[in-house]
Amino acid sequence: MSFNIWVNGGTSLTRCIDAIRTSGADIVGLQECGATTARTIADSLVFHHLGVGDVSIVSRYPIRNTISTGGGSAVAIELSPGQLVYLFNCHLAPYPYGPYSIREGRDQAFVINQENQTRMPALNQLLATMAPYLAGPTPCFLVGDFNAPSHLDYASYPWPTSIACDNAGLLDSYRLLHSTNRTYPPAFPYNAPGITWTPVISQEPNSAFDRIDFVFFSSGDGVIVIESTELDSRNSVNPWPSDHRAVISRFTLTPPLLADKSTQPSPVAGATNVSQNVQLGWVPGSNTLSHHVYFGTTSPGAYRTNSSNATFAPGPLALDTTYFWRIDDVKASGVVTGDVWSFSTRRVAVYEWNFAHGDLGPALGDGALSYADGAVTSNLTSLGTSDGAAVPHIGGYPTHYLYAPAFASSANGYHVAFPASGPNGGGLYINQFTLIFDLLIPAPLDWTALFNTNPQNANDADFYVDADGRLGIGAIGYSAPGVITPNAWHRIALAADLAAGTVGYYVNGNVVFTGSTALDGRFSLYSSLDPGPDLLLFNEGDPSGAFTHSLYLSSFAFTDRTMTAAELQALGGPKDLGIFAQALSSLSIARQGSNLRLTWPGGQGVRLQKSPSLAPASWQEVPGTSGASAFDDTVTSTAAFYRLAR
């Protein structure tokens, strides 16, 4: 079943539960259903559940694994020993809504482009996660509120979301059994066959009624759909509690054929973005008595245990790591050696800006830092190098900086986008992350907004330095006074693990406060799945303008994982070259007759090095270049390589 329950239960959570119970549904993908509501539903039905943001799942059968998707939620469900199915659940962005654009007179090209920008990033990421599962023999299902119609319901309209599912090898269970339903145009009435948006006429002022909730299934995996229908007060609980009709489809499945050795690994072979707390599963070979389990970071893995079960929990895994595993089947006739399978855990993205080139380009990663309102903030911003007087050096060394004034308009500020970072921590947003600022606030201290998780600046900022030198925010808590002092460089870090509900503040590597907050709440960040920027720096939505302050930013870094206290302590205080990238200025080289002229921005401790090769490199100091800014070398017939060092 796919069931959008309308903000955790619509007009009655009890009737939502009754609709599931009376339908006989075994597995339900729920939209607009948070973790607490999912637990209530599961407890009432005596089901298993996964509570995730607003795309929770409940199941009559045990949930063996969760799958990190970046675009929804997903689980491996064990129907019987050795028989798994995978359920993927999504809730795509509701606005802008294509059917409304059609009624506003927008042409097809405009609407399709809008769909590609609004809904396809999340769906593409979800389908990419599904790809190795779809390539295997285990049945896969995708349910959800797509907030977009199907191309199968329109005479000639290539809705990208349904076409993408079709191209991925997924079949639309409802449309397969109702292939003679008429197509658009003309517009559908609210009670036309299959229409899921909406049975509540008052919720649809534009008379845009469509089928936007789906149950897809994988082709070629022994799955046959035998029934599919929409549910509302006409054939289920009355009054119906939601503004969406549910969709329920019934299937017959072919039991997996047992081979001589174990097959159908879970995670599937080659899976990526796998959870750090994965549980391995497989279909045992025929006549198997027990299993030798091998697992590790080198093929085929180290021997771990012998088990009579077809599951194994390897324990917490490292991020961004490939693991190998093998199952050998122990039989009365001997041991059958299994295939070696592998999967990779979630990668970590790191972004940094240190302004070494006098612009907003990244020093590390593919993130984007931009002026929130274009030329206005650009004209208010200056990029420069510390002079040791008006702007202090860092540790005695000159540093590049971005100067931001105290902004007077809520439109000012700097947008940040993290294109390689999807949702994490089991939620719909970035819930595990670390933000690091190397900055200086001129005297006198006053309220200084460091970032706002609402890039449109529609509300208060979410992290401040206040007039007493405290660091924090009222909703989480503040450090002691005086941890930030004026006219001095500090390295400020916020390390959040909202899956665990924890947040830590650090100054120069030392923890100054720990607090707690919730998953997918105010302090979660938008991700690559959400259109537009993901974060706003140095402004906030209070119209009084009393909470912004001028500052100098030497470096800014972000990583989509929660750094440990030991890691942040090792990073220590601010550095003139950056945080992770530690980039010196560019070295320029030009030929002048028989000489090479090398120039660079000189400074204390900066020196030139030379090597005859890079494979391997053999760097040697060039005498007389420490603190200099130029060097002349003679052109020869052999190669030479140069770099700056400190």
The pLDDT score that the predictor gives to residue 110 is 97
Q: Is 80 left (phi over 0), alpha (psi -120 to 50) or beta?
A: beta
454 CB-side CA count, 13 A: 14
The pLDDT score that the predictor gives to residue 67 is 83
Which of the four pLDDT bands, split at 50, 70 and 90, describes residue 346?
confident
520-546: string of b/e by CB count within 10 Å (b at 16+)? beebbbbbbbbeebbbbbbbbbbeeee
Q: Is pLDDT of 164 > 70?
A: yes
**For range 305-331, the mean pLDDT:** 93
Please state whether the peptide bond connecting residue 205 to the residue before it is cis, i.e. omega within 30 degrees of 0. no
List pLDDT tens digits, range 209-233.
Answer: 999 999 999 999 999 999 999 999 9
Q: Is 332 exposed, middle or buried (0-12, 13-18, 19+ CB in 10 A)?
A: exposed
Map tokens 């054939």 to a residue: 235
Q: How many other β-carbons are positioned within 10 Å of the β-carbon of residue 615?
A: 4
By the 8 A CB rule, do 412 and 373 touch? yes
User: Which of 441, 468, 463, 444 lies closest to 452, judged by CA?
Assistant: 463
The amino acid at residue 215 is: V
CA distance 279 to 572: 37
Kind and range of the H or E element at 496? strand 489-497
The pLDDT score that the predictor gives to residue 374 is 92
CA distance 127 to 70: 10
DSSP calls for 198-230 = -S-GGG-TT--BB--EEEEEETTSSEEEEEEEE
511 CB-side CA count, 13 A: 12
Q: Is 270 left (phi over 0), alpha (psi -120 to 50) or beta?
A: left
For 617, the token pair is 């490199």
CA distance 170 to 241: 30
List pLDDT tens digits, range 440-495.
Answer: 999 999 999 999 999 999 899 999 999 999 999 999 999 999 999 999 999 999 99
Which of the four pLDDT bands, split at 50, 70 and 90, describes residue 413?
very high
The pLDDT score that the predictor gives to residue 474 is 95
List pLDDT tens digits, range 486-526.
Answer: 999 999 999 999 988 999 999 999 999 999 999 889 999 99
Map tokens 């906030």 to a residue: 540
48-50 and 27-31 strand pairing:
unpaired
In terms of pLDDT, which residue wins out, 7 or 602? 7
SS3 letters across 363-384: CECCCEEEECCCHHHHHHCEEE
- Calculate Rg over the CA atoms of the chain: 29
What share of the chain has pLDDT > 70, as a percent?
99
Query: Chain-centre distance of CA 602, in angstroms?
Result: 41
The pLDDT score that the predictor gives to residue 70 is 64
Average pLDDT over the chain reads 93
- Point out the least confidently predicted range of 58-72, 127-141, 257-271, 329-343: 58-72
Of the segments 173-187, 340-354, 592-606, which one has the largest average pLDDT value?
173-187
CA distance 56 to 190: 27
**For range 25-38, the mean pLDDT:** 94
CA distance 365 to 421: 11
The pLDDT score that the predictor gives to residue 427 is 73
List pLDDT tens digits, range 242-291.
Answer: 999 999 999 999 988 889 999 989 888 988 878 787 889 898 999 999 99
Q: Is 27 left (phi over 0), alpha (psi -120 to 50) or beta?
A: beta
User: Which of 506, 503, 471 lies closest to 485, judged by CA?
Assistant: 471
Residues in the chain: 646
Map tokens 């929409």 to a residue: 230
Map tokens 């030009």 to a residue: 590
The pLDDT score that the predictor gives to residue 520 is 86
436: helix, coil or strand? strand
Q: How many other β-carbons are positioned within 10 Å of the β-carbon of residue 288?
A: 22
Residue 187 is classified by DSSP as: P
By the 8 A CB rule, do 149 and 211 touch? yes
For 432, the token pair is 């595990």
CA distance 390 to 384: 12
DSSP-assigned beta bridge partners for residue 435: 494, 558
The amino acid at residue 127 is: L
The amino acid at residue 463 is: F
The pLDDT score that the predictor gives to residue 603 is 67
83-111: string of b/e by CB count within 10 Å (b at 16+)? bbbbbbbbbbbeebbbbebbeeeeeeeeb
**Contact partners, residue 94, CB within 8 Å, separation at least 6:** 147
User: Which of 496, 561, 508, 578 lies closest to 320, judged by CA?
Assistant: 561
By the 8 A CB rule, do 289 and 315 touch? no
